[in-house]
């Protein structure tokens, strides 16, 4: 049985989130959370929070034993980009792209 949690419009670049996602994909939930707890990046806290949300969904809605959960897949897609301008020399302007991400976590029961 699979459980999902989705976090949309997070104000962080998906490229930065994918580094954290690749570190915990395929691991047991408790091992992944322990790894993320000691990573100093902002994305680590965000990914940890969405994994905890997926675990809570599994416990509350499905009645699954949370000790047997494995992180089957985490996807960090690009969300809408906020476009801003910064004043530059000689009356010019430079575009600033403030990227957002959509993060999807899929947990599954381990078959051990």
What is the Cα 28 distance to its own chain's centre? 16
What's the pLDDT band for 111 if we cut at 50, 70, 90?
Answer: low
Who contacts 55 (Cβ-Cβ below 8 Å, separation ≥6)?
A: 29, 66, 69, 107
Q: What is the pLDDT of residue 50?
A: 96
Q: Is the pLDDT of residue 96 over 80?
A: yes
Q: Is the pLDDT of residue 82 over 90?
A: yes
Q: What is the CATH number of domain 2-109?
A: 3.90.470.10
Rounded Cα gap, residues 29 and 54, in angstroms: 10
What is the band of 61 on the pLDDT scale with cuts at 50, 70, 90? confident
pTM tops 0.85, yes or no: yes
Percent of the chain with pLDDT over 70: 98
Domain spans in the chain, listed from the N-terminal domain onward: 2-109
Instruction: Report pLDDT for 77.
Output: 96
């Amino acid at each position: 049985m699979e459980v999902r949690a989705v976090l949309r419009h997070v104000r962080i670049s998906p490229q930065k989130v994918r580094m954290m996602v690749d570190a915990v994909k395929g691991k047991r939930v408790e091992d992944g959370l322990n790894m993320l707890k000691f990573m100093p990046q902002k994305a680590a806290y965000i990914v940890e929070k969405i994994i905890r949300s997926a675990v809570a969904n599994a416990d509350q809605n499905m009645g699954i034993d949370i000790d047997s959960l494995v992180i089957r897949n985490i996807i960090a897609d690009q969300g809408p980009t906020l476009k801003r301008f910064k004043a530059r020399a000689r009356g010019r302007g430079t575009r600033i792209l403030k990227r957002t991400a959509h993060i999807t976590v899929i947990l599954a029961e381990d078959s051990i």
